[in-house]
Structure 1
Amino acid sequence: MFKYATDLTEYNIDATDGEMGKINDLYFDDDKWVIRYAVVDTRKWLPSKRVLLSPAGFERLNLDKKRVEVKYDKDKVRHSPEVPEDTSITPETEISLAGYYGWNRYWMGNMMWGVQDRPITDYHQISADEEKLRDEFNMQENKTKYNLRSVEEALDYRVHGNDGKLGRVVDLVISDDHWKISYIVIHLDGKPIGEHLYTIDPERIQNVDWFEGDVYVDYKVDEFKEHKSYRTKEDVLAAVVG
């Protein structure tokens, strides 16, 4: 099933013992373009704690009620490793979270979710000593190969073709099978708002200047404009699903 990233940020998170909070952002890695964490606003019951949950901890999406059911109770989340506010998420932090919750180490191996190809938590077959050694090795090996990026920050990035500007990012289409960003949706420059929406496969991205907010894709402008356009975001989803 495909969902917009901006739609998911309207979803509430349900622990096994009640409502936990609301998703207010998503983080993805800039290598495989896969959602790695949901940032949960837990201020109503757990102030002053930054809560990150991996899709590995999701049990079910309730589309009708816009809720994500997770595998943990509130006490489990309350005692999770600290993730300092207003700081980048370090490999050490990710290792602590993965160890605490039992998540797959997605950075280990070439598959989308590490040793598994889905965000599940079947990781107990590896001995503790072997896991520790592999963690330490891969933390150093992969330290500079990827960074986590905020979906909220990526919206409105400028998109450039090989010979000129194309438009701006308006949303990201996510598959909840692997939580991969399947398409980037852009609005073509100079066209009426809400019309002339186009999709881009992340595989066509050549480079991203994350500091300046520029995305460079492997298309010539005239070539890109020949692709199918959509009037609404709903039309985009219908075409993707269909």
Structure 2
Amino acid sequence: MLRSVESLKGSAVAARDGILGSVDEVYFDDEAWGVRYLVVDTGGWLNGHRVLISPYSVKHTDPGASTVSVDLTREQVKNSPGIDTQQPVSRQHELDYLRYYGYPQYWGGRDSWGMGGFPVLGPMQIGPGIQPESREPDELEADAPWEDVHLRSSDAVTGYHIEARDASIGHVSGFIFDDKAWVIRYLTVDTRNWWPGGRTVLLATEWVDSVDWFGSSIVTDLTREAIKKCPDYDDLVPLSRTYETALHTFHSRDGYWTKGDRASR
């Protein structure tokens, strides 16, 4: 099912033995647009610390009830490696986190989740892993070069300018993700400041040519005119495959669901 990241925000995160907190934002990676972590505000529990929850642990999301159920205990989360979400999260941080929970690393494989298209654990991967060696946050940051950081905050990227082939066209107003594959499929683009009577349109992440993370801009090879004339998008209506097909056909692009990654199907 395709749904907005915004619909996750504020959702209660329910462990096996109680509520962990609520979703504050998501982290996605800048290589495959995969939603790698929910950033959860623990409120009064854990003194309000923010913790990361991987889709590997998610049993199901319930948009109607605004609840994300995870196959974890509060004690597991309490003892998980501390991560400062106000600082860039490096691959070394992630490896410590994944090793603690016994999750495989998602990068370096042929699919969006390593060797699979979905964040599903095999029988040999279930259960907590090895405790990471104890290291202070400053020590972790010291060996986290910029090229080792690939996670981006949905909150931080909201507002990035969209540069079409021939002109600016709008800014990122949201994200649409697949809640089975946990991959961001579309950016929602608000065009109203760029042309009178503008509207919200969708830009598939596969149509993004480059991102300037320092300049806060996203570049696509689509023209401004093509984006202006693309099929209307109504965020009050569930996104259907019929609409997706019409959008891809309009731009003469193949649908992600026709490609080899099993998460596309």
TM-score (structure 2 length as normaliser): 0.78
Letter in 1 for 2:201: Y
CA distance in 2 between partners of 1:220 and 1:55 (Å):
35
Misfit runs of 4+, over 3 Å: 143-146, 238-242
Residue of structure 2 equivalent to 1:176: 179
CA distance in 1, matches of 2:123, 2:175: 29
State the match for 1:53 in structure 2.
53
Q: Secondary structure at the match of 2:99?
A: helix
Residues in 2 aligned to 1:123 and 1:110: alpha-carbon distance in whole angstroms: 20
Q: Out of 170-179 and 145-154, give the one that drifted further.
A: 145-154
Give the 5 Å matches for 1:201-220. 201-220=204-223
* 1:190 is aligned to 2:195: yes
Distance 1:241 1:68, change over 3 A: farther
For residues 46 and 109 of structure 1, do their structure 2 counterparts lie closer, same or farther at Cα, with a shift above 3 Å needed?
A: same
The 2-side partners of 1:225 and 1:236 are apart by 21
Q: 2:41–2:48: 8 Å Cα contact kept in structure 1?
A: no
In the alignment, structure 2 segments of 5+ residues that lack a partner are: 126-145, 247-265
Distance 2:99 2:148 in 1: 21
1:115 equivalenced with 2:115 (yes/no)? yes
CA RMSD, Structure 1 to Structure 2 (Å)? 2.5
Same amino acid, percent of matched pairs:
27
Equivalence for 1:136: none
Residue in structure 1 matched with residue 152 of structure 2 by the alignment: 149
Match among 232, 235, 252 for residue 233 of structure 1 = 235
Q: Deviations over 1:114-169 (max 9, x none)?
A: 122210222737xxxxxxxxxxxxxxxxx838611000111121111111011111
**Which SS does the other structure have where 1:225 is aligned?**
helix
Q: 1:236 to 1:68 in 2, by over 3 A?
A: closer
Q: State the partner residue of 1:98.
A: 98
> Aligned AA for 2:55?
P
Distance 1:47 1:240, change over 3 A: farther
2:164 matched residue in structure 1: 161
TM-aligned CA distance change 1:18 to 1:63, over 3 Å: same
Separation in 2 of the partners of 1:191 and 1:104? Answer: 48
Q: Shift of the alpha carbon at 1:10?
A: 2.2
Query: Any idea what the Cα deviations from partners look like across 1:23-73, whole Å, max 9, x if unmatched?
Result: 101000111011000100013111163310110110111222100000011
Residue identity opposite 1:234 in structure 2: L
Map 1:43-82 → 2, pairs under 5 A: 43-47=43-47, 49-82=49-82
